[in-house]
Structure 1
Amino acid sequence: MNCINEILRVSSQLDIKVTLVEEDKSKLVINKVMQIFTPQKITGHLAISNDEVIIFPVEDYEFIYSNSLPESKGYIFFDQPSETEGQVVMIEDVRFLCRILEESFGMEYFLVDEDFTYLIALNWYVIEGAGKAVNLLSNI
């Protein structure tokens, strides 16, 4: 089972609205993230790693950080390239992402809000936030 199928499965069980984004829009989302935030690693241990990033250890914040985000839709995608290359899922309310992940197998991913004001990268070791995420996550 791939990461997208896992998120769709768990979100359905938890009654949290998550949908697979059509292919053309998915590619536009990923390309826009790459242009705006220029993440340093888009495969392997995903990372934003620029000068204006906030960083937290995964073990302490993996299942709570999304509670600090404002209500909004968001887009989630994974390693590029991978079996889910060019695919994106949209979550209706990013605040519920950690609830889904708490019930899922471990995964590395990028999360961007619908207005592309922040990018969050989660890998096996750290959570990185760029853009507005620096302020949004500074009090967790």
Structure 2
Amino acid sequence: MENTDFLYRIKELEAAAKKLFLEYSIIEGKMANEFIQNTFNKFNPFKVVGHLSIGSDISEKLSTDEYEFTFSEKYLSGAVYIFFEQDYYNKNQIFVLKEGKLLSKLIQECYAMEYFITNDKNNYFISVNWYVIELLGVGSGPAGY
């Protein structure tokens, strides 16, 4: 039987959060679907499957190899909402990490992931794929929302 555990990214984040004693919650179902769709409608990302991408000319871009395990310390604060491509395994699920600055530490405990990040008010939008971290409306970039 094929091991499909890696397909359940929310479960992997949950296990890592427990290991690191981080506070988190999970939003699922209709509430998650509505939030994700509202986020996609607001920011209109270029790719929401495969190598996730915002694809904006005004987003700040960082190398994933160089910054994935440190960027959250600089760019995130408060609770963050993390979600993935909306395929069968990850559809309508949001992982909420209470302290966003700790996201990079959490991700270090997980197998390679591509994901989106925002907050409860959709003030910003971040995509992380294997190659680039795109930040829209965060930090010193020109894309304030």
Q: TM-score, normalised by structure 1?
A: 0.91
SS in 1 for 2:113: coil
Greater C-alpha Rg = 2
Runs (4 or more) in structure 1 with deviation over 2 Å come to none
Q: Map Cα deviations across residues 72-105 of structure 1 (whole Å, 9 max, x no partner).
A: 1111100122411111111111111111001111
Partner of 2:67: 61
- Cα displacement string for residues 20-44 of structure 1 (whole angstroms, at most 9, x for unaligned residues): 1131221121011111111010000
Matches of 1:42 and 1:8, distance apart in 2: 22
Per the normalisation by structure 2, the TM-score is: 0.88
Gaps of 5+ in 2: none
Q: Is the 8 A contact 1:11 1:18 kept in 2?
A: yes
Q: How many residues align?
A: 135
Indicate yes or no: 2:75 matched with 1:72: no
Identity among equivalent positions (%) equals 28
Which deviations, in whole Å up to 9, do the C-alpha atoms of 1:10-61 show, x marking residues without a partner?
0011011121113122112101111111101000000001121111111100
Is 2:48 the partner of 1:23? no
CA distance in structure 1 between the partners assigned to 2:127 and 2:88 by the alignment: 16
Distance 2:88 2:106 in 1: 21
Correspondence for 2:96 among 85, 90, 104: 90
Give the 5 Å matches for 1:124-139: 124-131=130-137, 133-135=138-140
Matching of residue 102 in structure 1 with residue 108 in structure 2 = yes
What is the alpha-carbon distance in structure 1 between the residues aligned to residue 13 and residue 132 of structure 2? 20
